[in-house]
Amino acid sequence: MFKTLLMRCLSGLVFMVVMAAGLLVHPTIYALLFMLITGITTLEYFRVTVKKRHIFAQCAVILGGWMLFILFYLLMRFHIPAHWFLLMVLPPTAVWISLLYQKEEYAYQSAPWLFIPLLYIAFPFALTNILVFDGQGLFSGTLLLDLFIMLWASDVGAYIFGMAFGQKRGHKLFPRLSPKKSWEGFFGGLVTAMIAGYFLYLTHLMPYHWAHCLAIPLMLHGCGVWGDLAESQLKRHFEIKDSGKIMPGHGGLLDRFDSALLAFPMAIAYLQIITLFLPS
């Protein structure tokens, strides 16, 4: 038990250092890091779903995910014309054509699993460009790092409170999909996420009113739990435990980012709305 916890903590610490470096050093490092994450996460998703079938289609989707990220990157940093996004018709077209030449009798049934990563994985990561570049194309990864900090605080709080109060006599949160999750862990994660949000407000790392600095972690935590449950449902459907083994004690990158994939688009939309209509 102690060895597993130590391994989990060490791999989590390395992960946080890498993410922080990618978000604070240089925009090119940020772009390369998030493209790498997009590629690995999509590959893990395919290893869960279609496995080693439809390799050409898998490559087309991974390239499509990178293309989507690069287009958002160029749009936000260099303000390229939006019509360049029409290039995104190419990856889905390549997938459809590749399926025509598959000799499997039921190849068409794989189509949904092949297209989902573009929306489920690539699009949320591409949206992060909206937060790291301002209207003049200047880079700052601090706000995106703030979102990660609140989500990490949520995960740590949920784990600690779940282990302490939810394992033996706790109240199950969603036993059909995740028997180990408890309401005690849910509310523990919510409290730690909101504490992290308020701390970021006090240290002026988040340039928003304190009410927003509490609303954002509330949204991140709630959507993050749904994101976690959504991936649990996927893994249960395909009867696997982890999406990969790249992070000891955590599983794969899809296991690590499952909360962010649902939570970040909602938080980014919220931040865009309050920037437009509400005082900061």
Q: Helix or strand or coil: residue 206?
A: coil
* Average predicted confidence (pLDDT) for the chain: 91
The DSSP code for 53 is S
Least Cα distance to 31 among 152, 126, 145 occurs for 126
C-alpha 246/C-alpha 21 separation (Å) is 19
pTM of the predicted structure, to 2 decimals: 0.92
**Which of 70, 69, 72, 67 has its CA nearest to residue 88?**
67
Tell whether the model's pLDDT for residue 1 goes beyond 60: no
CA dihedral sign, ordered 249, 254, 255, 259: positive
Which of the two residues, 7 and 275, has the higher pLDDT score?
275
Closest CA relative to residue 71, chosen from 127, 33, 32: 127
The answer to whether 217 touches 157, Cβ cutoff 8 Å, is no
**What is the separation, in whole angstroms, between the first and last Cα of the chain?**
45
50-54, 159-163, 215-219, 238-242 — most confident range: 215-219
